[in-house]
């Protein structure tokens, strides 16, 4: 049996998405910037996709800009808002995705900004009182916080963060890559200046994403070239990817309730089976459904010989997952997230992440294989 449990990294493409993309590949090949009929046809395809996405997210199509993915969108939001608004102070956490963390650290190292880190609790929750203290910096702040952590799944209350940012006139960038299409986002109400999506996280193609820029904020491009994306992002659009993105998001919204229930049931079942079969197993991050991303389960296993071979052993058994223990020193390559929440560096950790295609039988198989590996290496 082959089991894919690394859906937080990327997801398999939905067949309906492939069908929609192939239809455009076959029938619409003009350059969308060309003024002739072939180009206008493709421009219409892009704008239809933009309108679909905006409708699902309850926002204006004029606020949706297509990118190469989440990393470019995060970089654009951070770098352009800091440059265009003269931001001298940024706030984030030590458990952000590297697309955010490394970008802000590079700006700090260049002397562009002062960077502050919000305190986090053992399960990855943000200390909101400390966030408010940091927002009282005399300089206007950029706040960059992810909605759900990609490694441990802990959710952040975006409404509360948005309220605090509004109170202190801060710019709010929410990295929603892991939650886009898994939870409904009503951007007509959310007080975020930027949110981000990447198609391959919800059964769309790789290499395409989008940045939502709220109408209350104006930024200049990060990538210059042609006048694409209403002069906001130079470069010929990834037409097939954009169509796939819109179709994947549409499917996700139409099927969201049943998929949430199915995947949450799988996660809860796996937690119960791991506890029943492997003494001493622990879960990292929030574990209750209300505060935890239902697609992600991060597990620390008991100390064992050859702990660094756990993922390899799972791969040999046909199980794809990801992970890595906390760093035991500043030079170790490990999980910066697990290190930040104080997880033991001596215990191997694995992130299992689920999708609508996973089954209970796959969970049973995985738990049995993990149990065997733990017994052999105990």
Residues serving a catalytic function are 327
> Are 158 and 195 within 8 A, CB to CB?
no
The enclosing H or E element of 65 equals: strand 64-67
Q: Which two tokens stand for residue 117?
A: 């880190």
Mapped onto helix, strand or coil, the DSSP state of residue 89 is: strand
d(CA 146, CA 114): 19
DSSP 121-172: -TTS-B-HHHHHHHHT-SS-EEEEEESB-TTT-BB--HHHHHHHHHHTT-EE
> Are 91 and 172 within 8 A, CB to CB?
no
Kindly state the greatest CA–CA separation across the chain.
68
Count Cβ atoms within 10 A of the Cβ of residue 265 and give its class: 0-12 exposed, 13-18 middle, 19 or more buried. middle
Q: What residues contact residue 311 under an 8 Å CB cut-off, 6+ apart?
A: 321, 322, 323, 324, 350
The enclosing H or E element of 322 equals: strand 322-323
């Amino acid at each position: 049996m082959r089991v894919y449990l690394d859906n937080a990294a990327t997801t398999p493409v939905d067949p309906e998405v492939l069908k929609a993309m192939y239809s455009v590949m076959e029938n619409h090949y003009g350059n969308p910037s060309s003024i002739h009929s072939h180009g206008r046809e493709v421009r219409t395809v892009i704008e239809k996709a933009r309108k679909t996405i905006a409708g699902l997210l309850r926002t204006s199509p004029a606020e949706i800009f297509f990118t190469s993915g989440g990393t470019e969108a995060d970089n654009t939001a951070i770098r352009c808002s800091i440059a265009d608004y003269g931001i001298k102070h940024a706030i984030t956490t030590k458990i952000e995705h590297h697309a955010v963390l490394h970008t802000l650290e590079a700006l700090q190292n260049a002397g562009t900004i002062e960077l502050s880190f919000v305190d986090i609790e053992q399960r990855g929750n943000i200390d909101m009182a400390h966030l408010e203290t940091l927002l009282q910096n005399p300089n206007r702040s950029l706040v960059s916080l992810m909605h759900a952590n990609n490694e441990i799944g802990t959710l952040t209350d975006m409404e509360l963060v948005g309220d605090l940012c509004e109170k202190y006139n801060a710019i709010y960038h929410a990295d929603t890559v892991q939650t886009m299409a898994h939870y409904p986002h009503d951007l007509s109400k959310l007080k975020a200046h930027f949110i981000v999506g990447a198609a391959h996280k919800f059964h769309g193609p790789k290499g395409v994403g989008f940045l939502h820029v709220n109408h209350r904020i104006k930024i200049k491009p990060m990538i210059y070239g042609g006048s694409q994306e209403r002069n906001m992002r130079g470069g010929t659009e990834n037409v097939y990817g954009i169509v796939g993105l819109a179709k994947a998001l549409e499917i996700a919204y139409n099927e969201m309730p049943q998929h949430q229930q199915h995947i949450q049931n799988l996660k809860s079942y796996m937690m119960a089976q791991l506890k029943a079969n492997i003494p001493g197993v622990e879960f990292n991050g929030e574990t209750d459904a209300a505060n935890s991303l239902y697609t992600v389960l991060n597990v620390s296993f008991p100390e064992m010989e050859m702990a660094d071979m756990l993922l390899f052993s799972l791969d040999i058994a046909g199980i794809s997952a990801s992970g890595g223990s906390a760093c035991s020193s500043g030079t170790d390559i490990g999980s910066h997230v697990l290190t930040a929440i104080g997880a033991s560096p001596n215990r191997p950790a694995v992130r299992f992440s689920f999708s609508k295609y996973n089954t209970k039988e796959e969970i049973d198989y995985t738990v049995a294989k993990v149990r065997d590996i733990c017994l052999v290496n105990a």
